[in-house]
Amino acid sequence: MDIIQILKQDYQRFPENQTYSIYTEEVYFKDPMNEFRGRDRYEQTIEFISKWFKDVQMDLHDIRRRDNTIETRWTLHWTAPVPWEPRISIPGTSELKLNRESQIISHIDYWDISRLDVLKQLFFPRSPTAGAK
C-alpha cells in the first residue's frame, strides 16, 4: 500500500492502531512540546495521548508528497481530562521526510497556535455556538 494511503488511514483512526512500521527505528520527532529520536518513544507518545486524552480526533485537511517530503495539514481535537472537560483544538501541519525505502526518517509538527493559546482553551473554553452566526 502507498504511504499516502497508510497515512490517511492512520489520521482517520488516530491515535488507535497506528502503522508504526512506516517509521524508521531512529525516526526524529519534534513538535512544540517534545523532541526525541526513536520509534519506540514515538509509540509511547501516541499511547500517552490514547490513555490520557478523551475523544481524540485528528482531522486531515490536506496531504501532499513532493519527492522525499510529505506535508500534511490537520486539526487535532480532544477532550481534556479535567472536571469541566473542555474541548481542545490544535490546527497545524506536519513535515515528514522519507528515506529511499519510503520510510519516515523525520516527523516535525508545527502548530498554528501558541502553546499559551492551547493552555487558554483549558480555562476559557469556547462554547459550542462560538463563532456561529
Name the burial class of residue 42, with classes exposed (0-12), middle (13-18) and buried (19+) by CB atoms within 10 angstroms of its CB.
buried
**Phi, psi for residue 5 in degrees, rounded to 5:** -65, -40
Q: What tens digit of pLDDT does each residue of 37-79 get?
A: 999 999 999 999 999 999 999 999 999 999 999 999 999 999 9
Residue 17, phi-psi category: left (phi > 0), alpha (psi -120 to 50), beta (remainder): left
Q: What tens digit of pLDDT does each residue of 105-126 get?
A: 999 999 999 999 999 999 987 7
State the CATH class of domain 3-123: alpha beta
Q: What tens digit of pLDDT does each residue of 93-103 get?
A: 999 999 999 99
The whole-model pTM stands at: 0.89
Domain map of the chain by residue range?
Answer: 3-123
